[in-house]
Amino acid sequence: MTVDTVATAQPELDLTISRVIAAPRTAVWNAWTNPAAFEQWWVPAPALCRVDDMELVPGGSFRTEISEDGGAFGPHITGCFLAVDDRERIVFTNSLVAGWRPAESPFMTAVITFADHPGGTQYEAHVMHRSAADRDLHEEMGFYEGWGTVIGQLAAFVESPVS
């Protein structure tokens, strides 16, 4: 039996955003997989991100915290990685936590893909929800603005020349 590991879009349940980033795929991948780099772009500025755990293996822990005002950090994402395919795809969910344990409040699964593009890297975030209500809530919470801002910050981070 073969399991299809490519997400099939279901518009009533999913949200997708993509962008061409003018940087090599390796640079974009490294910004995603290096916790210190990840903290620089993962949440919309001026909020700050802290990576508590980023175990980039299937079943590995993915925990970040956010500080909205530069003060105390609070929970942001608590989940786990489902797939980590070198420079091609990262799949994470907050429906499970480390070690495949069920999460208390499941909400989404995200499939992040990286592909070569003549202009650099085609980056796509495909976010799946368990219900239309969850999908609609995520959109109302500002999915396109928030995730768009974060992808813009990622692009600025990897496109800027090294001094």
- The answer to whether the CB of 138 falls within 8 A of the CB of 116 is no
What is the C-alpha separation between 84 and 59, in angstroms, rounded? Answer: 10
SS3 assignment, position 87: coil
* Mean predicted lDDT score pLDDT of the chain: 93
3-state secondary structure of 36: helix
Under DSSP, is residue 69 helix (H, G, I), strand (E, B) or coil? coil
Instruction: Give the CA dihedral 64, 24, 162, 55, nearest 10 degrees.
Output: 20
Please say if the pLDDT value at position 21 is more than 50. Answer: yes
Q: For the chain, what are the domain ranges? A: 17-159
Q: Give me the percent of the chain exceeding a pLDDT of 90.
A: 90
pLDDT at 70: 86
The fraction of the chain above a pLDDT of 70, given in percent, is 94
Write out pLDDT tens, residues 117-149: 999 999 999 999 999 999 999 999 999 999 999
Residue 2 has pLDDT above 80, yes or no: no
DSSP 102-134: EPSS--EEEEEEEEEETTEEEEEEEEEESSHHH
What is the average per-residue pLDDT within 93-118? 95
pTM over 0.75: yes
Q: How far apart are CA 151 and CA 32, in angstroms?
A: 11
Q: What pLDDT sits at residue 37?
A: 98
- Given a cut of 90, whether residue 4 has pLDDT beyond it is no
d(CA 50, CA 80): 16
CATH of domain 17-159: 3.30.530.20
CA dihedral 100, 92, 67, 145 (to 10 degrees): -150
| Cα torsion 76, 48, 51, 120: sign | positive
For the cut 60, the answer to whether the pLDDT of residue 1 exceeds it is no
Query: Residue 113: what residue type?
Result: T
pLDDT level of residue 162 (50, 70, 90 thresholds)? low
Residue 6's pLDDT band (boundaries 50, 70, 90)? low
The count of other CB atoms within 10 Å of the CB of residue 109 is 20
